[in-house]
Chains A and B, each alone.
Chain A
Amino acid sequence: MRFILLVLLQIFIFNKINLFEFVNPQVYIIFIILLPFNLSHAWVMLLSFLLGLSLDFFDDTGGMHAAACVFAAYIRPFLLRFAFGISYELNTLKFNQTPVTQRLSYIGLVILTHHFVLYLLEYFNLERMLDVLEKTIYSSILTFLFIILITLIFKSKKT
């Protein structure tokens, strides 16, 4: 359910932002970020692949979103371990109870890897690395802001 909602939101709201004509937040990856931490790695990857592919269909981007999502999902456990350290390994992690800095660094890292792979595949050309980096950085900042906003809104609802 959250899956379909996010795809539609992405297509009809966030893809129309086009700040400075090329910066688009990819807010839909909040789905990958917030998937339950105890869900098996294989499931995370499969769901991310489907999410990416459905965006590709709407966005006419071939398999770029899918590739970027699968990549982000694949390294998610490593990023989780890096960001939260021991509490992740003990399987006691609750997203809303983690320290803010750790949570922010986790979100930021997922966004950066996802966006980098996405734009790398979009340009498909190492000569244009600068464009790729530029687009990655600007879009990441925007995505980051939106995702933080969304997590804050939903957090306040729960308490």
Chain B
Amino acid sequence: MTLLLQILLVAVVAIPVAGAAVVALMPASRDRGARVVATVFAAAGLVAALVLVLWPYLRGVGGDPTLGPWAEIDAAWVPALGVDFHLGVDGLSAPLVVLTALLTLLCCAYTVWKVPAGGSGRTLAGLLLILEAGILGTFLALDLVLFFVFFEVVLLPMYAVIAGWGGPDRRRAARKFVLYTLFGSVLLLLGVFTVVVAAGTGDMLALAGGFGLSHTTQYVAFALFAVAFAVKAPLWPLHSWLPDAHTEAPTVGSVILAGVLLKMGTYGLIRVGVGVAPEGAVWASPVLGILAVAAILVGSLVCLRQTELKRLIAYSSVSHMGFVLLGIATHTVTGLQAALIGNIAHGVITGLLFFLAGAIKDRTHTGALADLGGLRETAPRLAGLLGFAAIASLGLPGLAGFWGEAFAVVAAVERGGALWTTLAVLAALGGALTAVYFLRLLRRVTHGPASPAVTGVPAISRPEWWAWSPLVLLALAVGLVPALALTGTLDPLAALTGALR
């Protein structure tokens, strides 16, 4: 059984890589065929991920899901440096693994139907698979150096996706994205080696809880990790690559970027930052909390003044990730769980929002709010879905977005004291502002008389329904059954934070 699980674990990362290789070897004339093959591989990856994640529930064996990783593989990789090929899945990573596999499948399927202008669909599908492998590896890695390697794998394919298939200003945006996140990566590398040299191991399970690292090491390491992951998440004021990247990226790029790529930052902050340097996390938590609330407020205020559809959604991501980071900053189990479910919810809902924004831009050839209007007159279904996604994104209770935001506030109240109470109040105010800008968006895009741009837009096609409906259902399902994203997170989190109690 263990061997089977280990094979499965490697397969989850290997299937997309194999898919990318097969797609690359197919002749350029079979472009559509290659895209279909990529979709098949992505589907196989999703099945593998689902089996891996649901294993403890399917078989009742393979370990208790609430205790540590239930599937683990640990092989020597570079013995001289003490670097291991150490993968594992536990409650923290499981929902993100499924989300990544699902979004990649949806994006590949979407690519079969529609290839954005700029390059061959075959290459785009292959890049999506490589992206998937990198992201999954990041979520599964249990060795710091391996984590860093996977973290870096993601960078160049994403650059290529933006630069190859993006909007008119794509090259500049892609360059900004890659340079900015490389800057974060350098700090991450420094942090990784600070820890590995001081502790003599890169095993994240062994390192969890501090591993007897000195105060100074923990402070320095956490500072480095925090800045590195803050760039990726992104946390204000290190966010400015995001709006440009999103505005220019093709639809599938935006979906992957917002849906799972940003989560590498917040996941890393929990797993690596809080896990490896807990004292540093406690030490930095007020600063992190203040910046997180600043992100919430700045993000929503900027959204109030945005005039471009995708840019608005990008800034709303800054605000939503602020809630996730606030949860992490509180350094309570409540807050960390809020952050985890916030991660998943944002991935689902913003993924959907970017799909819809892409569909609207493709149909109307404009993203300017001033030119849109009256969409519900000409495309009621599309307008209805946009309304659903916006209402889910503004944190309506009963839908996925609510839990993360509400319990980030609860966690801040739980921390108590003047600072955290103020932060809770400001974060809740940010929640109200979120409602304001999303309703403004809906009013501009869907209400009123039909503008020339939205006249005669085609209805939602069948492939689009296929790509979007899983996200709609997930937004509802995670809202109604939040345990979907939280089962098995309590003990790993208690282990991460409990070292100090």
Verify that A and B bind, or say they do not: no
Which A residues are closer than 8 A to B by beta carbons?
A: none
